[in-house]
Structure 1
Amino acid sequence: MISKKTRNTLIYKLGAFLLGCTFIFGLSTPISTKAEEKTVKNVIYLIADGMSDGILTAAKYYNDIQDGTLGNDKLSMDDIRSGFVKTSWANGPITDSAPAGTALSSSYKTNPGVIGLTTEGKPKATILEAAELNGLSTGIIATSEITHATPAAFSSHAESRQDYNSIMKQQLYKDMEVVLGGGSEFFESTGGGKRSDGKDLTENIKALGYDYVTNKSEMKESNSDKLWGLFAKRDLAYDFDRTTLNNEEEPSLAEMIEKAIQVLEKDEDGFFLMVEGSKIDWAAHANDPSGAIGDILAFDDAVEIALNYAKENQDTIVVVTTDHANSGFTIGNESTTSGYDDLTFEESIMQIKDFKLSAEKFTSLIKDKTDEEIKELIKAYYGYTDITDEELEYAKNGQINEVMKIRAKLGYSTGGHTGGDVYLGVYAPYGVEKLRGTVDNTELPKYIASNLKLNLDLANETLYEEMKTKLEAENAEFTVNTDDLENPYFLIKKGSKTLKVITNSNIVEVYVDNKKIEDNELTSVSILIGDIAYGNVKEVIDILNKDVSNGTIDDDNNNTNNGVDDNSGSNKIPISIKKPSTSKLPYTGAVVGSGFVVLLGIGSVAAGVYTLKNNKNKQ
């Protein structure tokens, strides 16, 4: 048996040992400081919609031959290529942009046409939402409508990619710092007039603190911390069309990303930015090599902006990929089945050197033109002379792309998407592992989340719990009102208090005895998928159980009817919003664990010191 003195000495030494281990553990374990926790502070995620390796190769050739010499120029994408991405959807090899965008944003496979949901119809948090929840600034950029499939897949959840009403409202209340692209008519009007619901959501955009801009000059002049730019009613122009026809109203993709970074980097916590070169896909669908090449080069200019920023700051990852391939483009067609090995650069590659306009824009320009005028326009925009009668007929019938294919020996296998693996490029700071090899599209958001120290699963549990069961467990009545299909809402009643949760928004209206007391803002939107409500249940319960006995009724919002106001909804911006205080999601248990060890060590040392002193006094 050991003596009491020996035991106390052992306690003291054990405490000192534990305390020393704690300090060593603390020095070697990432805890909560930004410098230690985040080697990577920012991520710029660029997606070239519909870009196959074939058309990318043609764009490289086009870029290379502009100075008349082959082999001395390359694209920014060439320097960072690290592998390939597999693009299948949940049950097939050829995906559309909705499930492809869902896989790239959330790491979940889904079905055709679906945005941000699993195959079972459950919403899953996106990498953008996880970044926003953890205090990073966020943004989306596209050359299509901002409600289109890829930007929508990062910022909304819907059963159909065509559900623009739900998508645009979710985007509006997502609290992103930057939104740049096309699609103003979805926020401003339908059919040239007011939107079908009579609302102009651009006023909501401004009320939420955004500087709303509609052209390049306004975008460049903005000094706001929140920027929302819509530069076309639908999609932006093809880049060749924008530059050739001197469209000064629309910014290039590179100009948009440069401005977005300028806004987002103000946040010391870091940022996440998604950038889509949308219309590469549209040109591929149209079998238009000129439109696709021009937009690939514009996309590469945007990649260069991102890379320059990342190299200068060394705290930024750049990830570049494609959601799927499109059209089966080839250099070589049926005319080269035999004799392909005799085909010269002059007979093929040099025939794309003078592309300056998309096929779509060319067709619009030749309307009511004479044959000779059409031939001159072909020469001006594609460099071809000695136009044959066959080529002229193609051009007059809206098929100038056929002339390009004949002249440059280009081929297409389809006007739709294809299932091949696509480009992957990654730039990472020194010491940060790159994503390499052939990877599945679901691996990209996991790679980004890992480097930003984001927990996608925990973000999903926080933002998109099923609401009804949890709220009924709080002894509340829960009902869904879909009388107005464009503006459904949830009613949650407990005693004299009723919450009206506006779907596709983050707004919760609070009523006591059928009188409106206040509006609250959740950290993300509440959504209705089928007949099931999803949202941040914990925050809703906090609002439901909050004491409002000292609250005051806003006379402007005071309802004198016998029920909750059915006229308020997601198109109305509350005058005063009370946002609950939230903390960032934990990534590991290091802080809690090391804190416990510290307390144990200190306690052991104190106990040892006390007992040793007592024994000494007794002696």
Structure 2
Amino acid sequence: MKKKIISLLLVIGLLFTGCKNTTSKSSEKVVLDNEKELAKNVIMIIPDGMSVDVLALARWYNGGKELNVDSLANGLVRTYSGNAAITDSAAASTALATGNKSENGRIGVLGEEYTMPGIEKVAEEDKSKPVASVLEGAKLQGKATGLVATCEIMHATPAGYSSHSLDRNDYNTIGEQQVYQNMDVVISGGSKFLSPEEREDKEDLKKIINEKDYNYVESKEELEKVKEGKVWAMLAETALPYDMDKNEDDISLAEMTSKAIELLSKDEDGFFLMVEASKIDWAAHANDPIGIISDALAYDEAVGVALDYAEENKETVVISVTDHANSGITLGNRTDERKNISEYMEPLSKAKLTGEGVENKLKENPEKIEETIAEYFGITDLSEEEIAEIEKAEEGTLNAIIGPMIAERSGIGFTSGNHTGGEVPLFIYTPEKVEKLSGTIENTDIPKYIAKVFGFDLKEVTDTLFVNAKEEFEKIGAKININTSDENNPVLEVTKDNTKIEFPENKNIAIKDGKTIELTGVTVYNGKDFYLSKDAIELVK
């Protein structure tokens, strides 16, 4: 693809009146000026919820072998959100993707009231406004973009790079925006949430994905066959299994990362890829050290894949940082008197599955608690009280029951079952010509650095993609109406002179004279205002 260098301020082309196609584009290929580009590619890898002690734990579990990330440590990252000392994954992802602090629970939008010291108040007109991500900026540059995650793709971290919502749990909004973002590679779980039966708006997102000429696949085998073009891989109904729980038909995070790089690197303009090892966080919430170790090592293997590519390619920056710490995990607890590392590792090494994997085994033989725990979790001395706890465990919670049991036997300590607010390590690899981020930095500094590497400004991307529709249309005398006759599918209707244009929420399209026109960005409605890309505004002028 030959890149056309165009100013960030959009130059609107033909409006396609009289066009024979039912779908057209509202402008020329919109690309940011990349004269200051320092590297063609950026790979961002997020081990969600990974506290610093996990590195030591994973390293010792793996026989003391050096981790791929060990040589990349270059600083510390502060993780607080706009309204809390301890962030959630939504506000953290918003910070890491857009360069803006927000409030816990929000995805890709600004907050209302910030309470943490040192954070500027949000201007009244900017409250709950969507803000652009580095993925969206890279897309404007003409780069290929992709997301890889072991959770469902609508979960907080991948959502922060690809959608804008006041509520992290609003999978209807998040999933639809993701489909209309026109990313090149999506490899994750979450097929369940593409189905009209699971969606309040009854949209069939799988059908739309296929209409957009993706290779839609639902298995490792199918994904391996994809050699070119766009791919949307939904490899589980919800989240993928922990790495330790995989069977031969399941894919590893390293394999997912490798396939994403293989496909994205075919774009001569470069690419942006975000990879998340999602379930380290889930295991930390459960205080399950086996789940934590399982996916921390899987994460490190994915880092190795990215590093191998970057070292050979010589035009790629690799950044890795967790969004927040979780659980206060420590090697050693309050009563621990162990000295030899083998005394810590021996109980852990006997486990063949994570707590989640053991639960699946118990479903097959619920009456065989002691035998199953002994075989798959390595605990042979369950007390009567522990057996009773296991018997009473609700579905989906066994890892939070037996995780602490193996932790106690291994001298592993936890202070919490929730996120914690300390700094987290920064890992970075750059080509020789690119200066590394270093020191103690804010999480919001990372996307600003990525934007600098790519040669664009995130504020300008936001100004291009998210214009307040009411304010702009009032300036030109256009009338607007928010049609909520279908409350789950609001539509902005804009009328000027004898022309009426419709902008459906969460899509990157406008409907004019019966024709569908593709826009530069997705249309976002925050319950009060619609935000449109600049080329959408130009359609009405």
Q: Which interval holds the TM-score relative to the shorter structure? A: 0.7 to 0.9
Of 372, 378, 384, the residue aligned with 1:377 is: 372
- Number of the residue aligned with 1:228: 232
Q: For 2:520, what is the secondary structure of its paired residue? A: strand
Given that 2:333 and 2:411 are in contact with CA atoms closer than 8 Å, whether structure 1 keeps it comes out as: yes
Aligned-residue offset at 1:368: 7.2
Q: For 1:519, what is the secondary structure of its paired residue? A: strand
Quick one: structure 1 residues 112 and 386, their matched pair in 2 at CA, closer, same or farther if it must change by over 3 Å? closer
- Number of the residue aligned with 1:150: 157
Inter-partner Cα distance in structure 2 for 1:370 and 1:498: 62
Q: For 2:493, what is the secondary structure of its paired residue? A: strand
Equivalent residues in 2 for 1:327-366, closer than 5 Å: 327-336=327-336, 340=337, 343-366=339-362
Aligned-residue offset at 1:59: 1.2
Quick one: structure 1 residues 189 and 294, their matched pair in 2 at CA, closer, same or farther if it must change by over 3 Å? farther
- Number of the residue aligned with 1:180: 187
- Number of the residue aligned with 1:536: 533
- 1:525 partner amino acid: V
- Number of the residue aligned with 1:207: 211
Equivalent residues in 2 for 1:462-501, closer than 5 Å: 462-501=464-503
Question: Matched residues, percent identical?
Answer: 43
Aligned-residue offset at 1:395: 4.8
Of 421, 428, 438, the residue aligned with 1:419 is: 421
Matched, 1:100 2:92: yes
Inter-partner Cα distance in structure 1 for 2:131 and 2:296: 31
Q: For 1:504, what is the secondary structure of its paired residue? A: coil
Deviations 1:347-389, CA, capped at 9 Å, x for gaps: 2233222332111221332247487x54443343233445555
Inter-partner Cα distance in structure 2 for 1:256 and 1:39: 26
Q: For 1:46, what is the secondary structure of its paired residue? A: strand
- Number of the residue aligned with 2:25: none
- Number of the residue aligned with 1:261: 261
Deviations 1:463-514, CA, capped at 9 Å, x for gaps: 0011112112222111211222221111111122110111101110002xxx
- Number of the residue aligned with 1:163: 170
Given that 1:395 and 1:403 are in contact with CA atoms closer than 8 Å, whether structure 2 keeps it comes out as: no
Matched, 1:136 2:138: no
Q: For 2:352, what is the secondary structure of its paired residue? A: coil
Given that 1:363 and 1:400 are in contact with CA atoms closer than 8 Å, whether structure 2 keeps it comes out as: no
Equivalent residues in 2 for 1:426-575, closer than 5 Å: 426-511=428-513, 516=514, 518-537=515-534, 539-545=535-541
- Number of the residue aligned with 1:308: 308
Aligned-residue offset at 1:390: 5.2
Inter-partner Cα distance in structure 1 for 2:364 and 2:493: 59
Q: For 2:482, what is the secondary structure of its paired residue? A: strand
Aligned-residue offset at 1:74: 1.4
Quick one: structure 1 residues 369 and 201, their matched pair in 2 at CA, closer, same or farther if it must change by over 3 Å? closer
Inter-partner Cα distance in structure 2 for 1:170 and 1:387: 48
- 2:445 partner amino acid: E
Structure 2 stretches lacking a partner, 5+ long: 1-31, 112-126, 393-397
Greater helix fraction, Structure 1 or Structure 2: 1
- 1:321 partner amino acid: V
Inter-partner Cα distance in structure 1 for 2:193 and 2:231: 18
Given that 2:109 and 2:165 are in contact with CA atoms closer than 8 Å, whether structure 1 keeps it comes out as: yes
Inter-partner Cα distance in structure 2 for 1:299 and 1:45: 12
Given that 1:394 and 1:403 are in contact with CA atoms closer than 8 Å, whether structure 2 keeps it comes out as: no
Deviations 1:167-206, CA, capped at 9 Å, x for gaps: 1111111111011111111102546xxx444442111001
Inter-partner Cα distance in structure 2 for 1:272 and 1:176: 10
Q: For 1:160, what is the secondary structure of its paired residue? A: coil
> How high is the TM-score relative to the length of structure 1?
0.76
- 1:456 partner amino acid: L
Inter-partner Cα distance in structure 2 for 1:364 and 1:289: 18
Q: For 2:341, what is the secondary structure of its paired residue? A: coil
Inter-partner Cα distance in structure 1 for 2:84 and 2:44: 25
Aligned-residue offset at 1:543: 2.1
Q: For 1:505, what is the secondary structure of its paired residue? A: coil
Quick one: structure 1 residues 386 and 487, their matched pair in 2 at CA, closer, same or farther if it must change by over 3 Å? closer
Aligned-residue offset at 1:424: 1.1
Inter-partner Cα distance in structure 1 for 2:171 and 2:500: 29
Q: For 2:274, what is the secondary structure of its paired residue? A: strand
Structure 1 stretches lacking a partner, 5+ long: 1-31, 65-70, 546-619
Inter-partner Cα distance in structure 1 for 2:224 and 2:139: 25
Matched, 1:53 2:52: yes
Query: Size of the alignment, in residue pairs?
Result: 488
> How high is the TM-score relative to the length of structure 2?
0.86
Given that 1:493 and 1:499 are in contact with CA atoms closer than 8 Å, whether structure 2 keeps it comes out as: yes
Q: Which runs of 4+ in 1 moved over 6 A?
A: none
Q: For 2:157, what is the secondary structure of its paired residue? A: helix
Quick one: structure 1 residues 218 and 369, their matched pair in 2 at CA, closer, same or farther if it must change by over 3 Å? closer
- 2:431 partner amino acid: P
Deviations 1:178-236, CA, capped at 9 Å, x for gaps: 11111111102546xxx444442111001011110000011110133111011111111
Inter-partner Cα distance in structure 1 for 2:271 and 2:161: 14
Given that 1:394 and 1:402 are in contact with CA atoms closer than 8 Å, whether structure 2 keeps it comes out as: no
Given that 1:105 and 1:127 are in contact with CA atoms closer than 8 Å, whether structure 2 keeps it comes out as: yes
Inter-partner Cα distance in structure 1 for 2:196 and 2:505: 21
Instruction: State the structure with more CA Rg.
Output: 1
Given that 1:142 and 1:182 are in contact with CA atoms closer than 8 Å, whether structure 2 keeps it comes out as: yes
Aligned-residue offset at 1:438: 1.5
Given that 2:41 and 2:317 are in contact with CA atoms closer than 8 Å, whether structure 1 keeps it comes out as: yes
Q: For 1:335, what is the secondary structure of its paired residue? A: coil
- 1:63 partner amino acid: N
Given that 1:117 and 1:159 are in contact with CA atoms closer than 8 Å, whether structure 2 keeps it comes out as: yes
Aligned-residue offset at 1:247: 4.6
- Number of the residue aligned with 1:292: 292
Inter-partner Cα distance in structure 2 for 1:469 and 1:92: 32
Aligned-residue offset at 1:334: 2.8
Quick one: structure 1 residues 109 and 389, their matched pair in 2 at CA, closer, same or farther if it must change by over 3 Å? same
- Number of the residue aligned with 1:584: none
Of 241, 246, 255, the residue aligned with 2:245 is: 241
Inter-partner Cα distance in structure 1 for 2:90 and 2:276: 13
Deviations 1:266-325, CA, capped at 9 Å, x for gaps: 111100001111111111111111111101111111111000000001000000000011
- Number of the residue aligned with 2:123: none
Aligned-residue offset at 1:132: 0.5
Q: For 1:228, what is the secondary structure of its paired residue? A: strand
Given that 2:60 and 2:341 are in contact with CA atoms closer than 8 Å, whether structure 1 keeps it comes out as: no
- Number of the residue aligned with 2:281: 281
- Number of the residue aligned with 2:72: 80
Quick one: structure 1 residues 197 and 461, their matched pair in 2 at CA, closer, same or farther if it must change by over 3 Å? closer
Aligned-residue offset at 1:326: 0.7
- 1:417 partner amino acid: H
Q: For 1:347, what is the secondary structure of its paired residue? A: helix
Quick one: structure 1 residues 51 and 33, their matched pair in 2 at CA, closer, same or farther if it must change by over 3 Å? closer
RMSD of Structure 2 on Structure 1 (CA) = 2.0
Given that 1:143 and 1:181 are in contact with CA atoms closer than 8 Å, whether structure 2 keeps it comes out as: yes
Given that 1:363 and 1:395 are in contact with CA atoms closer than 8 Å, whether structure 2 keeps it comes out as: no
Q: For 1:157, what is the secondary structure of its paired residue? A: coil
Inter-partner Cα distance in structure 2 for 1:350 and 1:433: 42
Inter-partner Cα distance in structure 2 for 1:88 and 1:294: 27
Deviations 1:493-540, CA, capped at 9 Å, x for gaps: 1122110111101110002xxxx2x21111111111121111113x12
Equivalent residues in 2 for 1:120-131, closer than 5 Å: 120-131=127-138
Quick one: structure 1 residues 386 and 98, their matched pair in 2 at CA, closer, same or farther if it must change by over 3 Å? closer
